[in-house]
Chain A
Amino acid sequence: EAAVTQSPRSKVAVTGGKVTLSCHQTNNHDYMYWYRQDTGHGLRLIHYSYVADSTEKGDIPDGYKASRPSQENFSLILELASLSQTAVYFCASSDGQANTEVFFGKGTRLTVV
């Protein structure tokens, strides 16, 4: 079964500080994604990547950067964290070829104070 691990699982950050969320997958998948979930809502795509050293903007990229240094690792970076970025962040991966089923990590709860 797909294995996507996120770290940390929860974090409290101060407004204006830098936050890095990390994701590691052992599925040999080409595609990786970062989604955000706000309380009581569905998930929205922030950034994604289909190959190492390249990232693409999703639907809500403002205020976020992403980094894909290898096939297995995908980071989400908040250079200047803001209160509005308090949410749960999910990383995911998919093969992106014949089978595009997406598998999610357990999420990172980020609270910006």
Chain B
Amino acid sequence: GDKVKQSPSALSLQEGTNSALRCNFSIAATTVQWFLQNPRGSLINLFYLVPGTKENGRLKSAFDSKESYSTLHIRDAQLEDSGTYFCAAEGGMLSGSFNKLTFGAGTRLAVCP
């Protein structure tokens, strides 16, 4: 099965509203990264997380390694937030995923006026 499961697979938001994206891991993740793939296809680094939380502007992310999940919260969604959000997990030295990212399938987000 999928080692990194993202939900939802697609989401439509009204401008100005809030939402949360989630990743569940079936590998022993030690770090998590969140990326936004913009409409031109570039991958933009949003967060690099060890267990804990980080915040950057309207975005906030949390990673709980014991419960094997990570979340990305978007506050006051803007049109430019549209794109595909990917989470990716790195495993520990014994996991076979050390220094290698395993990606989820992504969440396609459309922000509408």
Please give the residue numbers on chain A whose beta carbons come within 8 Å of chain B beta carbons, in ascending order: 31, 33, 35, 41-45, 48, 50, 58, 88, 90, 94, 96, 99-104, 106-107, 109
Contact B103 A102 (CB under 8 A): no
List, sorted by A's number, 17 A–B pairs whose CB atoms are closer than 8 Å.
A33-B100, A33-B101, A42-B4, A43-B86, A43-B103, A44-B103, A45-B101, A48-B99, A48-B100, A58-B100, A90-B43, A94-B99, A100-B31, A101-B45, A102-B33, A104-B42, A107-B43
**Main SS class of interface, B:** strand
Instruction: Kindly state the interface size class of chain B when it binds its partner.
Output: 20 to 34
Residue of B nearest to A43 (CB): B103
Instruction: State the 5 A-B residue pairs at the shortest beta-carbon distance, nearest first.
Output: A42-B103, A101-B48, A104-B43, A43-B103, A42-B105
